[in-house]
Amino acid sequence: MTKSTRHFIRHYAEMVAAMFLGMGVLFAPALVALGAAGVSSSELRSDAPALLLLGMGVTMTLPMVAWMRYRGHGRAASNEMAASMLIPTAGVIALLGAGLVDDVGMLLMVEHVVMLPAMLVAMLLRRDEYLGGPRAQAVLTR
């Protein structure tokens, strides 16, 4: 395996790790704060499922973008990675809003599963950046 391929795979793994870390680090305290305000996660799930889905998408996106910026990626690549997270989020919210799917657990699963290949597509669109390392390619993406 070439060094550039390893770099590409490492970046993808870092994005997945940041995504899951964001769920634990940001989403859990958000639920605790809602609980302190008198709103339970089950109420959120039944009364405002779109807000639950949006919150999940945002809490996974923020740490990914922060990590990309820390690693030297430019705004364009960071925005594309954010879109790879938020477009699936918007898609499941649209499915919910249209009444096509009302099972919030299913929508959460779809949201997460679709994000993984969406992130890969975002990386493939900027293959040179992700194969060559962010510091080396940052000048091209700013």
Domain ranges of the chain: 3-141
Residue 20, number of CB atoms within 10 A of its CB: 12
Q: What residue type is 69 in one-letter code?
A: R
So what's the pLDDT on residue 44? 80
So what's the pLDDT on residue 141? 46
The three-class DSSP label of residue 64 is helix
So what's the pLDDT on residue 42? 82
pLDDT band at 77, cuts 50/70/90? very high
Give percent of the chain with pLDDT exceeding 90: 56
So what's the pLDDT on residue 90? 98
d(CA 62, CA 26): 9
> In the 8-state DSSP scheme, what is residue 31?
H
pLDDT band at 33, cuts 50/70/90? confident
On whether the CB atoms of residues 107 and 56 are closer than 8 A, the answer is no
pLDDT band at 133, cuts 50/70/90? low
So what's the pLDDT on residue 139? 43
Query: Would you state the structure tokens that stand for residue 41, as one six-digit string?
Result: 């996660």
Nearest to 60 by CA among 36, 40, 81, 74: 81
Long-range residue pairs from 102-110, CB within 8 A, at least 24 positions apart, any chain: 104/45, 104/49, 104/52, 104/53, 107/49, 107/53, 108/52, 108/53, 108/56
pLDDT band at 106, cuts 50/70/90? very high
CA angle 34, 85, 30 (to 5 degrees): 10
pLDDT reading at 137 higher than 60: no
